[in-house]
Structure 1
Amino acid sequence: MRTAVLEGPGKFVIREVPIPQPQDGEVLIKVASCGVCHSEMGLWDGSFGQYPSRIGHEVSGTIVQLGSGVDSLSEGQRVTIFTDRHGYSEYVAVPAEYVIPIGSNTSFTAALGEPIGCVVNGLRRARIGLGDTVVLVGVGFMGLIMLQLVRIQGAGKVIVVDTRESALSRAAELGAHLCLNPKQDDVKQVVMDVTGGAGADFVIELTGNQSGLDLSSELVRIRGSLVVFGFHTSERRVNMFLWNWRGLDVINAHERDPRIYVEGIRVGMKLLEAGSLDMEPLVTHKFSLEQINEAFAVAYARGEDYVKAVIEP
């Protein structure tokens, strides 16, 4: 089978390797789609990681073979999976307990299980209540999923913050009540005005950078909640005086327990099938396996027209 091997910064090479054979309790999946994840950009640019590497973890596809002892799934079943590698391949073998069926009305492109599961689990940790004011700092791919699910949870007002006008336009189309650009707007002042000087009940940081974390901390009301959802790959400084003064609840929304991921993915697939979550407008770019270097270059550049890229082997 063909697989993409990251042999160094900015360099995927397509290799021929044997099709993996499912072991006891495993399932062999023919990959239909694998999302390009922002967390992989550090591997792409050489910031971290080791080479060669076979990555890719946002996988959906079809079961083509069952390992011994698997009786809860069937060949031909359309699924999404939880995995941490090898997704940029024609086939991948994973434990059956990490395989989640998808509905007949859900496309492979939409069934990006791992990121959807991340958002579901993050919001379960946050416990947003009916009528709460929520600020999303950063509305890229994950932020636009978050926006839809925050509204489902019954948030009273959802304010989004981003420096890209295209991101703000998409957020408005998906139901954001107020869209702010820090390049043009005094974000802190506007949020305080909207909340009567109190600040937001929940601020969800989705940028993964220092400035986004700093801004998020300033927008939370006394005894409000700061949800750190951005993917941070290095040390950060925090204003502990501000956190203490306001008595913030700080929630880290990323657990690495596979069982928790799978639970979140199952919920996410139900939301997709029910039509409560719309992923189709978020997938803006599609590439073949042979185009994977182009796909990563586009994802890394994050142009105005970009939200999400997928590889279709």
Structure 2
Amino acid sequence: MNVAVVKPAVMQAAVVTGPGAVVVESRPLPEPGAGQVRVRLEGCGVCASNLTPWAGPEWMKFPTEPGGLGHEGWGIIDAVGEDVAEFAIGDRVAALSYHSYATHDIAEADAVVKLPDELAGMPFPGEPLGCAMNIFKRADIQAGQTVAIVGIGFLGALLTQLAVKAGARVIAVARRPFALELAKKAGAAEVIAMNDQWEIIEQVKQLTGGRFCDRVIEAVGKQWPLDLAAELTMERGKLIIAGYHQDGPRQINMQMWNWRGLDVINAHERDPKIYIQGIRDAIEAVQEGRLDASALYTHTYRLDQLDEALNATRDRPDGFMKALVLYP
């Protein structure tokens, strides 16, 4: 008698086994619980926040959980748990979930946003797009203001677009000629190479008639760009810290911050509800033409090339802006 053997459903998931080392493993396909959905992922963006754990600091524990570190996923719901009424199998969504370096991930239903039909086929790493919208909202950028953006990576490039569309005059400061060219295409009025700090300060002083900038967004996450950003902020201006400063303490020139009466805004959010609203705002901004990240997705990788994707995010080869890991 022939007996059919039913193979258990599996997914593919990346596991970081040590500093700079990753393997892809087959794991049982997880089932969503009450209030959850399972997303068959189309892809996941690679976030620069992954680079510190990828380097293997003392506090990092290996191996990671399957799919761990990935949190910029989007895809199609293929299973729905109990008590979920607002989503159905087949819905295309962006998800705020945390094991998205895998072909499937589980997300809470209230951490998922449905993508409209006009975005079909477009990559949509919701978390960083929502992050850009939340930073922009807290920066309170208005038409006619002069806004300096220090650091034109993926986030800085998005903020350049948003500030230009809002009617601000944008001064983009970046290290790489490729990034400066992108900022110029996005509408930046002036672009300045990030080399000598005091030369940059003098250039911006001249460009603004000695006033400096109404808003300055620091989007690098290092000490000297933070110092530079403060120097470029006018009296009673707003300094918005968007860089990811998680590799150690920072020093600030409190004497100058105090004298100029700066409003200093740490623009990172941790409330999932605010993240989700940012993703909704990003969808609206794309629909309205205020945000277009398509030219910023410069490098794509398979899941078994996650190490290459992380290394490129770290090393930033010429022409690099944002890596996506795409799943078949």
Larger radius of gyration: 2
User: 2:104, 2:298 → 1: CA distance?
Assistant: 24
Asked whether the 8 Å contact 2:43–2:123 carries over to 1, the reply is no
Partner residue in 2 for 1:111:
124
User: TM-score, normalised to structure 2's length?
Assistant: 0.92
Deviation at 1:304, TM superposition (A): 1.8
What secondary structure, in the 3-state scheme, does the structure 2 residue paired with 1:17 have? strand
CA offsets 1:142-162 (integer angstroms, 9 cap, x no match)? 10111111122221x100001
Q: 1:80 to 1:294 in 2, by over 3 A?
A: same
Pairs within 5 Å for 1:246-285:
246-285=260-299
* Aligned with 1:245 (options 242, 256, 259): 259
Match of 2:63 in 1: 52
Q: Secondary structure at the match of 2:119?
A: coil
Distance 2:96 2:206 in 1: 42
Correspondence for 1:230: 243
Shift of 1:276: 2.4
State the SS of the aligned residue for 2:117: coil
Partner of 2:200: 187
Which residue of structure 1 lines up, in the alignment, with residue 50 of structure 2? 40
Deviation track 1:133-176 (CA, whole Å, cap 9, x = no partner) reads 00000001110111111122221x10000111110011111111
Size of the alignment, in residue pairs? 311
Give 1:133's aligned amino acid.
Answer: T
How many Å separate the matches in 2 of 1:248 and 1:149? 23
Tell me, yes or no, if the aligned pair for 1:60 and 1:108 is still in contact at 8 Å. Answer: no
Deviation of 1:275 after TM superposition, in Å, equals: 2.8
CA–CA distance in structure 2, aligned partners of residues 110 and 202 of structure 1: 30
**Contact 2:164/2:186 (<8 A) preserved:** no
Deviation at 1:217, TM superposition (A): 0.7
Q: CA RMSD in A?
A: 1.3
Corresponding position of 1:171: 183
Per the alignment, residue 171 of structure 2 pairs with 159
Deviations along 1:93-152, whole A, 9 cap, x unmatched? 111111101122225653111001111111111111221100000001110111111122
Q: Secondary structure at the match of 1:284?
A: strand
Q: Say whether residues 1:70 and 2:109 are aligned partners.
A: no
Tell me the residue number matched to 1:206.
Answer: 219
Q: Does 2:15 align with 1:5?
A: yes
Structure 1: runs of 5 or more not aligned:
none
Q: Percent identity?
A: 39
- Letter of the aligned partner of 1:37 in structure 2? C
Cα distance between partner residues in 2 of 1:109 and 1:41: 26
Alpha-carbon displacement from aligned partner over 1:219-244 (angstroms, at most 9, x marks no partner): 01000010000000121000000101
Q: What's the TM-score, normalizing by structure 1? A: 0.96
Task: State the AA in 2 paired with 1:282.
Answer: L
Distance 2:145 2:214 in 1: 6
- Alpha-carbon distance, 1:189 to partner: 1.0
8 Å contact from structure 1 (residues 136, 147) kept in 2: yes
Quote the Cα distance in structure 1 between the aligned partners of 2:189 and 2:301. 33
Write the distance in 2 (CA, Å) between the matches of 1:102 and 1:274: 14
Q: Partners of 1:158 and 1:296 in 2: how far apart?
A: 30
